[in-house]
Structure formats: structure tokens, C-alpha cells
Structure 1
Amino acid sequence: MPSLNPSPDQLKRFAEAMPAGEPILMLNLLRFNQEAVYTAGSGETACSGMEAYARYSRTALKKVRAAGGEVQVAAHAQVALIAPEQEHWDEMLLVRYPTPEAFLAMLADEDYRAATVHRTAALADSRLIACTPRA
């Protein structure tokens, strides 16, 4: 089953587990739909999953920066060397946020939330893994 958006329980566990007030890194693994999958009646024009993600990114990157965050690495995934045979990803992003609280505030932002319709339509599957930098 694809994993596209965090559930309320996942967000609660994130908030409880991450060290408050400390920098975090969010590892994003992305697999795009060939064609974006918008809900019926959304009014969105047909496009590829990658184009839908670009639509999302235009708002998301502004909101990441406004939260004090920064994309550290953006890369095209090539080969899963150590992974289940059927697993593959199209892109990887590593995003730094000043705190878990800044990340959660970004997720709650009204403009950011509106843009997630494009992220959801874009992705066939994803992973979002919260990390803490080593000292």
C-alpha cells in the first residue's frame, strides 16, 4: 500500500519522538505516477506526476525557507543497491529544518496544505524519514 501523507497518529508520534528545539533532517524518497492522479472534479489540468510535484514544489520550497529550512540534497535516484528487488525511487531529497516544531508549523500552514493536492496527485509512493544530525 502506498504511503503518501502522514496520518494524525504518525504526526503525533513524530512530535513526541523528535528532540524539541533541535535541528532535524527529513529524508524524502519519491516515486512518481506516470500521470498525476487528481481527484475527480479538482479542476486540475492533466500532467505527469513529475509536473504535479513541480507544482507542489513551487509553494513547498517557499514554505520550507520561511520555516527556516533548506534543501540540503536533491538527487535523481538511479539504482537501489541494497533493497528489495522490486523497490525503486525516482528522487531523493534531504531537507534540513531548524526544529521539529518549525516543520510541523509548515505542515499546518494554509497555503502549504492547499499545495499538497499536487504532491498527493504526483506520487505513487513515498517515504519521509525524520533524522537528527550527528554532532
Structure 2
Amino acid sequence: MAETTFIDPTPAGFQAFKDLPRDEPIHMLNLLRYRELAEYPAGHEHHGKGWTGRRAYEEYGKTSGPIFRRVGGSIVWRGTFQAMVTGPESERWDDGFVAQYPNSAAFFAMIKDPDYQLAVVNRSAALVDSRLVRFMPGEGGEGF
């Protein structure tokens, strides 16, 4: 049986996101698994360059970063996968990060931006699987 992978939001998942409050800060957990070789559509300027998925994701960061920052986004945590302690052994990630937005309106502004829509091609080319999970920020500290 083929493994199910996720690159873009499902209609139900995106609707659940839209149904949540829009006027509070949000954290978006991003888990990334890169393709060995990026898969750009034929005719794209990066098609055939032999880029790794990681390199294509770096291009996504470079091209989407100005838009992300303009809407008030920032990275509050970043890490490189080491081991699956609890969860399916088959589920491994290359990188993870938490992006913070002032509210979901900022996230919507980013994804609707025409320059972002051009940049996101790099993300799609880069990833073989991903997760994007919305959280309401809470207080940090010493306890669970």
C-alpha cells in the first residue's frame, strides 16, 4: 500500500483553520521531509537544475521570506530531526520549525500575495511530505 503524503492543506483542514478565531496570535508547527531531488514543473526556471529538495526549500525561504516578515511573521523555534521517540517509526522529518503570526489574517495575507504564490512552487518542488499544525500560543516555563 502506498504511503499517504501531504504537501498542501486538505479542503477540510483549511476550512477548520478558517473557522478558528482570526484575531489572536497563532503558531504554526511545520514538519518537513525533503525530496532527494526537487521536482519542478517543466518550463519552470529551476527545472532541470538538479537541486535537492533541501536546496529548493532554501529557495522557498529566500523568495517567501520578505512576504512572511512583511505580514508580521517570525520563526520562534527551529530544529533538525534526530529520532522518533513516540510515534510511527516510519514517520521521520528532516527539519521542523514554528512560525508565529500576529493573527490568521496575516497568514491569509501571505498566502494570497501574488509573489508568495510564485514562491510556493519552490515549497511544492522541495517536499515529499509535510505537516502544518496550528496552535494557540501558550506560556512557556518550567512545567508541563
TM class by smaller structure: over 0.9
* Map of 2:50 onto structure 1: 46
Per the alignment, in what secondary structure is the counterpart of residue 41 of structure 1?
A: coil
Q: Does 1:15 align with 2:14?
A: no
- Report what 1:116 is aligned to: 120
1:92-103 alignment, distance < 5 Å: 92-103=96-107
Secondary structure in structure 2 of the residue aligned to 1:55: helix
Please give the secondary structure, in 2, of the residue aligned with 1:92: strand
| Runs of at least 5 residues in structure 1 that lack an aligned partner in the other structure | none
| CA distance in structure 2 between the aligned counterparts of 1:87 and 1:102, rounded to whole angstroms | 30
Q: Percent identity?
A: 38
The offset of 1:75, in angstroms, is 1.1
Aligned residue for 1:90?
94
Superposition CA RMSD, Å: 1.3
* CA radius of gyration, larger in: 2
Query: Structure 2: how far apart are the matches of 1:81 and 1:88?
Result: 10
1:9 Cα deviation after fit: 4.2
Letter aligned with residue 114 of structure 2: E
Matched residues in 2 for 1:8 and 1:108: separation? 16
In the other structure, the counterpart of 1:63 is: 67
Counterpart Cα distance in 1 of 2:45 and 2:59: 14
Aligned to 2:7: 4
> Secondary structure of 2:138's match?
coil
- Letter of the 1:98 counterpart: P
> TM-score if structure 1 supplies the norm length?
0.93
